[in-house]
Amino acid sequence: MKTYNPSEIESKWNRIWEEKPVNKDDGKKEKFYCLDMFPYPSGNGLHVGHWRGYVISDVISRYHIMKGQYVIHPMGWDAFGLPAENYAIKVHEHPSISTEKNIDNIREQIKQISAVYDWDMEVNTTDPKFYKWTQWIFVQMFKKGLAYEKQMPINWCPSCKTGLANEEVVDGACERCGSPVTKKNLKQWMLKITNYADRLLDDLPNLDWPEKVKKMQTDWIGRSYGAEVDFPIDGRNEKITVYTTRPDTLFGCTFMVLAPEHEMAKSLATPENEKAVDDYIFETSKKSSVDRLQNKEKTGVFTGSYAINPINGKRVPIWLSDYVLADYGTGAVMCVPAHDDRDYEFAKKFNIPIIQVISKNGKATSDGRIPMDGITPEDGNVLPENEGAYTAASGIMINSGEWDKMESSELKVKAPEIIEKKGLGKKKKNYKFRDWVFSRQRYWGEPIPIIHCEKCGPVPVPEEELPLLLPDVDSYEPTGTGESPLAAMEDWVNCKCPNCGGPAKRETNTMPQWAGSSWYFLRYVDNKNESELVSKERAKKYLPVDMYVGGVEHAVLHLLYARFYTMFLHDIGVVDFDEPFKKLFNQGMITGKNGIKMSKSKGNVVSPDDLIRDYGCDSLRLYELFVGPPELDAEWDDRGIDGVYRFLSKLYRLVMEEKDKDVKETPELVRLRHQLSYTITSRMKNFSLNTVVSAFMEFNNKFQELSKTTGVDKETLCTYARLLAPFAPHIAEELWEALGNTNSVFEAGWPEYDEKLMEEDTIEIPVQVNGKTKVVVTLPKNVSKDEAIAAGHSAVDSKLSGNVVKEIFVPGRIINFVVK
């Protein structure tokens, strides 16, 4: 008897599939686009954690092939960017060489998964034929005014020696290397992603994405509604505009705080406060953003100047404090200590009056006047009833002049308009997120296709001259000066203005890694097109992506950028949809022991190579699924793979023993067959891939038992092979062939099931006494209540002590006697 030999079976079927692909577009099939987040070709190669997402997406792809669809399942390389360049520097090899080597290496590793990738569709972001279009998109954005230059302090990673987008800064540190991020004043190319803020937000509810990711994008964009209010400066013909989401509390404003970076900060200082103000501004400028974030203890300095609250004409002191952010809103806030935690803390620390303007329980405080510790109460100076600020917008307005007795929640909505009508300010919508800093001062990226002309300003490289090739340089290491290594290449930098022909200089910054990944998924389906990014016809036929599988780490970076790019390409007529990914699935991470992330430095990386050699690809695929629910993190344990290997060995032996026996099908076998199809199909639909594997094992155990008695019929074994095909494709093909079939199992279609044929004649029903199961009885499936109760009594009467006060029978479920 032949035993299961995975390496023999797998190389055989890999060869056959190479010659006769199982996934074909006959022009009639419905398409299904199943996409993986493409990897950057790191020098370390793949570990079992990388496999997980690829196995999941391949199972989905093969399932859809079995369902009769044409599946677009491509793979490519996100090969520009910092990781690739840092690796090249480390191994002293030009990034173009090291990247190519790494791609060749990873491609071979990915092929070991035996996924149905269509390698004719492969893309590589560093291929000039690809980045021609990355540059083309930038030029289109420039023409539409969405790409613009700005001199400003940006996030700077001193270790990577480049500017970073806000999205790339996590807790004040570089997302890549973890170094604390500093500020550097640089002239930058920016993309006006904020123009798309509302669309990026408002589309989210329609996407079939994990709620977590939608929430992260919502928070990141951070839209808020409120008002800008103008506060005249006392004794000067100037004003300060503040942004507030709580204009309803305007009467409670007792001071104002400006960010130390605010342009008026210095000029507001009165002579006697000048030194303190200067010192404070200087101290703040020295702090890193990490320090500023971590130290939540309020600090501040009084400028000596006052502003006039326009609603009631009261003078309020103007302070500076670093808890106000310069780049959000107007960089100045009105402070209502009674109804804002931060303002409350600040007021307490610096003894500023606190005036309550919302009564929580709908009543004004009884006497309305409670003196505050250490200060003399001014007229109308009231403390909140309890410790701390009352921040909810619900309750009745008090101490608020004409607004008294109004409901706070209603006023909050109406106030911006009231303020606008009174000419005190205007309605305003604000966003937390900023335009996208798009320049990188590094070598290994797409050159930004812009020429700077003294006369004409920035001029795009003419489209027919694209791609603008990344020139070969002697030294590609980052300079750290804020200039790209390209700046040193005078021959390349100096050029003629395409507009006026005069002397001009090329832009020397490159694009961020995200540039290519923001649109690569569009290119797969038309990757050889030299005249268009993607043809209308192919875009219509194959796009957008139906299922996107990848890690959650890209929730606000890649996924937000890709949506922005797609919306833009929609707007200029390249594609006719504006959301790229209909459905998103985030697989959990595979970690080493104790949940520690797999990394070379930790020495806990598990390579798939040895496992494939010892157990085969099918076993590893199954174990990647069996290790736990696909959306949760899972700890890798090498020993677990023995279980799935034993399962496949037993299954193989079963089929080899049963196939020539000519076993007649029995009602039990028919029932099991349909139950199997039903179980696998429904678990597949629920995405419960770990329990799919359990179900295969369970049914295999049942069939092992039956093989000792009635045997297992061919039809049932064939059904098993078809169901197994998306999960363990090689052995499924082998068994399918052994069972006498001459076509591929992937041409056999996904097995249907008939719920009627799944039903058993008898059912097992637990008999409970006071909810505790005492015994299980077997009854006919359509048993009546009376018969069931009678059967229940005869089964447990000997154990009943006391009177039965209630008899419960739930058909097919339970018999329960309530006894007193």
Partner RNA sequence: GCAGGAGUGGCGGAAUGGCAGACGCAGCAGACUCAAAAUCUGCCGGGGGUAACUUCGUGUGGGUUCAAGUCCCAUCUCCUGCACCA
Judged by DSSP in three states, 316 sits in strand
Residue of 646, 645, 647 whose CA lies nearest to 616:
645
Q: How far apart are CA 50 and CA 608, in angstroms?
A: 10
Place of tokens 């599946």: 71
CB 386 within 8 A of CB 334: no
Judged by DSSP in three states, 461 sits in coil
DSSP string for 140-179: HHHHTT-EEEEEEEEEEETTTTEEE-GGGEETTEETTT-P
Smallest separation, CB 253 to RNA (Å): 9
C-beta neighbour count of 723 within 10 angstroms? 26
Cα 375 to Cα 313, 314, 354, 378, 607: the distances in Å are 22, 18, 11, 9, 69
Q: Looking at beta carbons only, is 656 or 818 nearer to RNA?
A: 818
C-beta neighbour count of 464 within 10 angstroms? 5
Indicate the burial class of 420 (C-beta count within 10 angstroms; 0-12, 13-18, 19 or more): middle
Q: Looking at beta carbons only, is 222 or 401 nearer to RNA?
A: 222
Q: Looking at beta carbons only, is 53 or 449 nearer to RNA?
A: 53
Smallest separation, CB 817 to RNA (Å): 8
Smallest separation, CB 87 to RNA (Å): 24
306: tokens are 């006052």
Cα 417 to Cα 124, 249, 420, 424, 641: the distances in Å are 52, 14, 5, 10, 65
Beta bridge partners of 33: 72
CB 383 within 8 A of CB 370: yes
Q: How far apart are the first and last CA of the chain?
A: 63
Smallest separation, CB 813 to RNA (Å): 4
Smallest separation, CB 462 to RNA (Å): 39
Q: How far apart are CA 338 and CA 386, in angstroms?
A: 10
285 φ, ψ (degrees, to nearest 5):
-65, -25
Residue of 529, 532, 542, 601 whose CA lies nearest to 573:
532
Q: Looking at beta carbons only, is 223 or 570 nearer to RNA?
A: 223
Q: Looking at beta carbons only, is 133 or 727 nearer to RNA?
A: 727
Smallest separation, CB 135 to RNA (Å): 30
Smallest separation, CB 111 to RNA (Å): 27
Alpha helices in 616-713 (DSSP H): 617-626, 641-658, 667-685, 689-707
C-beta neighbour count of 206 within 10 angstroms? 9
Cα 223 to Cα 228, 336, 673: the distances in Å are 15, 21, 54
Q: Looking at beta carbons only, is 647 or 753 nearer to RNA?
A: 647
Q: How far apart are CA 622 and CA 728, in angstroms?
A: 7
Smallest separation, CB 49 to RNA (Å): 14
% helix / strand / coil in the chain, to the nearest 5?
Answer: 40, 20, 40
C-beta neighbour count of 287 within 10 angstroms? 14
Q: Looking at beta carbons only, is 642 or 668 nearer to RNA?
A: 642
Judged by DSSP in three states, 288 sits in coil
Q: Looking at beta carbons only, is 537 or 642 nearer to RNA?
A: 642
Beta bridge partners of 581: 545
CB 582 within 8 A of CB 544: yes
Smallest separation, CB 242 to RNA (Å): 7
Q: Looking at beta carbons only, is 758 or 808 nearer to RNA?
A: 808
Q: Looking at beta carbons only, is 571 or 635 nearer to RNA?
A: 635
Indicate the burial class of 211 (C-beta count within 10 angstroms; 0-12, 13-18, 19 or more): exposed
Q: Looking at beta carbons only, is 335 or 562 nearer to RNA?
A: 335
For 25-61, the three-class secondary structure string (H helix, E strand, C coil) is CCCCCCEEEEEECCCCCCCCCCCHHHHHHHHHHHHHH
Smallest separation, CB 657 to RNA (Å): 12
Q: Looking at beta carbons only, is 261 or 571 nearer to RNA?
A: 261
Give all strands (DSSP E) within 513-580, no chain letters: 545-550
Q: Looking at beta carbons only, is 323 or 492 nearer to RNA?
A: 323
Smallest separation, CB 687 to RNA (Å): 11
Q: Looking at beta carbons only, is 488 or 775 nearer to RNA?
A: 775
Q: How far is CA 414 from the centre of its chain?
A: 36
Smallest separation, CB 780 to RNA (Å): 16
Q: Residue 538: enclosing H or E segment and its boundaries?
A: helix 536-542
Q: How far apart are CA 738 and CA 769, in angstroms?
A: 52
Judged by DSSP in three states, 274 sits in helix
Q: How far apart are CA 40 and CA 126, in angstroms?
A: 11
C-beta neighbour count of 3 within 10 angstroms? 8
Smallest separation, CB 651 to RNA (Å): 10
Amino acid at 552: V
Cβ density class 788-798: b for 16+ within 10 Å, e for less: bbebbeebbee
Q: Looking at beta carbons only, is 27 or 205 nearer to RNA?
A: 205
602: tokens are 């930790």
Q: Looking at beta carbons only, is 71 or 641 nearer to RNA?
A: 641
Q: Looking at beta carbons only, is 327 or 477 nearer to RNA?
A: 327
Smallest separation, CB 671 to RNA (Å): 17
Q: Looking at beta carbons only, is 205 or 573 nearer to RNA?
A: 205
